[in-house]
């Protein structure tokens, strides 16, 4: 039965604290071994009764996010309606705080939040497993946006096993310049590998050091274990990111890396106070468009209100 009042769900951004990319597979995807961390920067999706589907997008970067069938939220709605055998009727609004094309899985967060909100609106009563299956059809990062917390991802990143983190970690996210296209960053990695400029990815580095560091709860250990194979191609496509990484290190970050396919710089700090200090320093440094202090892990897509 369809609810008559609007329903809102929110889902978090993610940082890949470890991202090892294998060679290109015959299906066009790369084999990944990654450790996802959900952080406290959320998009919300509100859905209400409608006649057919409609979508509006507000907030951070709304002008560059399509508000039609190209939007992952629209595809999530069609997929859930099709699998549950209900009409795809909903008025949907995305309120974005997660910048688009920033390597923070904003689109995936929106898709996960939409699945949760529409399931409640339409009374489709999908189990968490059902939703995870639909999420994997929408994109490699969507299952993690649904699950949240910390998880080891394999396959395309969609096969997840939860990881224990002893204490929350504190981060400052610096968003530099225009968005980077994820396929373009993977293509650049393939090019660098073909030219022999970076290791070919046949031997995926293990995720155990970063998992052990998360278990220890020691920021210095985690800082030493951070790694991202997409950082090199993100830096060749966006050389000014070097200055952004250096700015974060010089301002006192314990560890820095490019988040996912970039261009967001994720700077790890020891505690909340250091995060406040680093946020102020980086906001004044002139290299970032937006600077946000966050912490993780936080839960995945959930109903709010």
**Footprint of ligand ATP on this chain (CB under 6 A)?**
65-66, 70-73, 94, 100-108, 110, 141, 179, 182, 260-261
State the first-to-last Cα distance of the chain, in angstroms, to the nearest integer.
20
Alpha helices in 106-161 (DSSP H): 106-122, 128-138, 142-147
Active site annotation includes 14: yes
What is 53-83 written as a DSSP string? EEEEEEETTGGGS--STTSHHHHHHHHHHHH
| Closest residue to ligand ATP using C-beta atoms | 107
Cβ partners under 8 Å of residue 206, min gap 6? 33
Residue labelled with tokens 């990815």: 201
**3-state SS assignment for residue 108:** helix
Whose Cβ is closer to ligand ATP: residue 158's or residue 251's?
158
> For residues 219 and 260, which CB has a smaller minimum distance to ligand ATP in the complex?
260
CB of residue 230 to ligand ATP, shortest distance in Å: 9
Residue from 43, 89, 110, 141 carrying the catalytic annotation:
141
When the beta carbons of 27 and 203 are compared against ligand ATP, the nearer one is 27
Q: Which of 14, 43, 89, 229 is catalytic?
A: 14
Of the pair 44, 274, the CB lying nearest ligand ATP is at 44
Least CB distance to ligand ATP at residue 92 (A): 10
**CB 281 → ligand ATP: shortest distance, Å?**
25
Q: How many CB atoms lie within 10 A of CB 24?
A: 16
Q: Which residues pair with 227 in a beta bridge?
A: 18
CB 158 to ligand ATP: min, Å: 12
What residues are labeled active site? 14, 141
């Amino acid at each position: 039965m369809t609810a008559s009042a609007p329903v809102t769900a929110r889902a978090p951004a993610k940082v890949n604290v470890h991202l090892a990319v294998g060679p290109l597979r015959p299906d066009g995807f790369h084999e990944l071994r990654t450790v996802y961390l959900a952080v406290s920067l959320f998009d919300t999706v509100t859905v209400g009764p409608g006649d057919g589907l409609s979508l509006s997008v507000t907030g951070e970067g709304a002008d560059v996010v399509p508000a039609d069938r190209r939007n992952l939220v629209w595809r999530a709605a069609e997929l859930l309606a099709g699998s549950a055998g209900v009409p795809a009727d909903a008025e949907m609004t995305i309120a974005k705080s997660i910048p688009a094309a920033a390597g923070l899985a904003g689109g995936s967060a929106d898709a996960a939040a939409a699945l949760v909100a529409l399931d409640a609106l339409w009374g489709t009563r999908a189990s968490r497993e059902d939703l995870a299956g639909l999420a994997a059809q929408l994109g490699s990062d969507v299952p993690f946006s649904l699950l949240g917390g910390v998880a080891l991802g394999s396959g395309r990143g969609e096969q997840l096993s939860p990881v224990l983190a002893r204490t929350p970690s504190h981060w400052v996210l610096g968003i530099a310049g225009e968005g980077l296209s994820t396929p373009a960053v993977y293509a650049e990695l393939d090019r660098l590998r073909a030219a022999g400029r970076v290791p070919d990815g046949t031997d995926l580095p293990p995720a155990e050091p970063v998992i052990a560091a998360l278990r220890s709860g020691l920021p210095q250990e985690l800082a030493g274990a951070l790694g991202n194979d997409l950082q090199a191609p993100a830096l060749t496509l966006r050389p000014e990111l070097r200055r952004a990484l250096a700015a974060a290190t010089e301002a006192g970050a314990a560890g820095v890396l490019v988040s996912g396919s970039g261009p967001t710089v994720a700077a790890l700090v020891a505690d909340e106070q250091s995060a406040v200090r680093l946020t102020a320093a980086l906001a004044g440094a002139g290299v970032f468009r937006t600077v946000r202090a966050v912490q993780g892990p936080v839960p995945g897509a959930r109903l709010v209100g």
